[in-house]
Chains A and B, each alone.
Chain A
Amino acid sequence: MDSGGRLGRLANAVRRGWSRMPQQLSRLVVLFVAAVAGLAAARFFLVPPTFGELGHYRASAIADNVAVPLKYAGREACVDCHTDVAEVHSKARHQTLSCETCHGPAARHIENPGEVNPVVPREREFCPRCHGYDPSRPTGFPQIDPVLHNPMTPCVSCHVPHAPEPPTLPASCSACHGEIARLKAVSHHAVLECTECHDTPDAHKDTPRLVRPGKPAGREFCGKCHAPNAASPKHIPRIDIGTHGGRYPCWQCHYPHYPEVG
């Protein structure tokens, strides 16, 4: 049972079969073997070395993609040295920003802190990139009109970029309701404070649309000054609240911010 004998018998059988094979068939076999060998050789030389290791692609392409150098170092790298700024920044309203959002890519600064320094944007054009008014920005995002808002002044002269504070609450109603305030100022109701008629909770200044000021409920409210028996100065016009105007409330005909004379 030695393998040499077995191989010899196999070789003999192949030789016998080959000589008995019709010539046209043996030529086809040669062609077929040559084609297979050609394909195998082509595959060996043309398919790149790591192709197919992980899938239908060159596995080494992953290494090529990984080899791209870093430009942005990431917030953690900045915090390692700039602990003081990070401390302030992490509690402030700008905490969702990465350092490199404003200071630009800093990987080279981290490799070579003395030589390369990241940008410090102090110019007025910088902040409106986020905070300039743009109607497509989400409602409630703090925005200003860069043309009207303290022209020519750099933002950093009033605002601390690492810990910005929201704008202070308006001191008077006229800050927002300017049109009404200007009209009222030249009317007979000029001396009345807005809060005389509108009961205004403090929260209205902070969240104006959620907490709304009150309005007078009925004609009795106007009657407190304008009823015949009201305890008010004599020159104030009087009217019979019970019968005047039928069923309509006073402000259906008289605009309280600019009541007509006479």
Chain B
Amino acid sequence: MDEHARAQGVGSEEQPCGVDRREFLKKCCLAGPIVLTVVELGGEGAETPAYDATKHYYGMGIDVSKCIGCGRCMEACKTENDVPPEPHFVRTWVERYVIPAEGETHVEVITPGRTTDVRPAERAIVRTYFVPKLCNHCANPPCVQVCPVGATFISRDGVVLVDHEYCIGCRYCIQACPYGARFLHPETHTAEKCTFCYHRVVKGLAPACVEVCPSGARIFGETAARNSPLARFYRFNEIQVLKGHLNTEPKVYYARLDREVS
């Protein structure tokens, strides 16, 4: 709307000089894209000039069978995003599942750099494995629905972000997230969550967890592209999502996920 108003403003000045309506409209049509470009470039620098959010739509693939539980993703995420050092504040985390022959499945969040003996004293273990988790960047996110002030939102490229200036710290979103992906920052008292490392992604870099993953268990990319690594991952694997029955439409896709995982 802005550029139209401007273009019309220019036109109305020219009209007394004998430009008829048809010609004026023609000029408007020609000037539109130019003005638009100028406005976009000179705009408040919301994104890097080359980056067009409308041309991207991001998701992540996770191959559970490749995760070795080293916890480098957890460390890199904390470093990259200045997440508070306490172990219970995490934007991404890795869960260890231990399924015994009888009784409850044991799930715990790993501590990077510490190996634990998973064998419970008397029980036989059927299977044990790691599952990396993070914000699922749902296309239909409950956290965005419940935010009373519009401080959390889906960006045009499909990333669920938090506006730390505007968040009132009411914790509704933390309650609403079925994946436990959010927490309240102990200092700013605003909601914190994975941003897919939005500041890296707009510069063409992979999220920090994807960058450091040694076994390639995490794949980041465009969900719509036909030839991206994520599309390949999606095409060649049986894909599951977490809590699909909640209709949150997660954009973190899992391959070879055990039925025990939720």
What 0/1 pattern do residues 101 to 133 of A give for CB contact below 8 A with B?
100110000000000000000000000111011
Other-chain residue from A56, A61, A96, A129 in contact with B165 (beta carbon distance below 8 A): A61
Q: How far is the CA of A101 from the CA of B215 in the complex (A)?
A: 10
**Interface-forming stretch among B25-33, B73-81, B171-179, B226-234?**
B73-81
Q: B199 touching A68 by the CB < 8 A rule?
A: yes
With A61-B165, A71-B80, A100-B211 in contact, is A136–B69 under 8 Å at CB?
yes
What 0/1 pattern do residues 154 to 185 of A give for CB contact below 8 A with B?
00000000000000000000000000000000
With A58-B165, A128-B115, A129-B70 in contact, is A66–B46 under 8 Å at CB?
yes
Q: How far is the CA of A108 from the CA of B199 in the complex (A)?
A: 16
Which residues of B (168-203) have their CB < 8 Å from a CB of A?
195, 198-200, 202-203
Interface size class for chain B? 35 or more
Other-chain residue from A60, A65, A74, A130 in contact with B214 (beta carbon distance below 8 A): A130
Q: A70 touching B203 by the CB < 8 A rule?
A: yes
Q: Given the complex, which residues of B lie within 8 Å of A128, measured CB to CB?
A: 115
Does A246 sit within 8 A of B, measured CB to CB? Answer: no
Q: How many A-B residue pairs have CB under 8 A?
A: 137
Q: B69 touching A56 by the CB < 8 A rule?
A: no
Q: Given the complex, which residues of A lie within 8 Å of B153, measured CB to CB?
A: 55-57, 61
Q: B212 touching A136 by the CB < 8 A rule?
A: no
Q: Given the complex, which residues of A lie within 8 Å of B97, measured CB to CB?
A: 136
Q: B46 touching A60 by the CB < 8 A rule?
A: yes
Does A45 sit within 8 A of B, measured CB to CB? Answer: no
Does A238 sit within 8 A of B, measured CB to CB? Answer: no
Q: How many residues of A contact B (CB 8 A)?
A: 43
Q: Given the complex, which residues of A lie within 8 Å of B164, measured CB to CB?
A: 61, 64
Q: How far is the CA of A56 from the CA of B166 in the complex (A)?
A: 12
Does A59 sit within 8 A of B, measured CB to CB? Answer: yes
With A71-B80, A137-B69 in contact, is A66–B47 under 8 Å at CB?
yes
Residues of A within 8 A of B (CB): 48, 50-51, 54-72, 74-75, 94, 96-98, 100-101, 104-105, 128-130, 132-138, 141
Residues of B within 8 A of A (CB): 44-48, 53, 65-72, 76, 79-81, 96-98, 112-113, 115, 118-119, 125, 128-130, 150-156, 161-166, 195, 198-200, 202-203, 205-206, 208, 211-216
**Interchain Cβ contacts under 8 Å between A and B, 17 examples:** A57-B150, A58-B163, A58-B165, A61-B166, A62-B47, A63-B45, A68-B81, A71-B80, A101-B214, A105-B80, A129-B71, A129-B112, A135-B118, A136-B118, A136-B128, A138-B65, A141-B68
20 extra interchain contacts, Cβ-Cβ under 8 A, other than A68-B199, A101-B213?
Answer: A50-B44, A56-B153, A57-B163, A57-B166, A58-B163, A59-B46, A61-B162, A62-B198, A63-B44, A63-B47, A65-B199, A66-B46, A66-B199, A71-B208, A72-B205, A74-B205, A74-B211, A100-B76, A101-B72, A105-B80
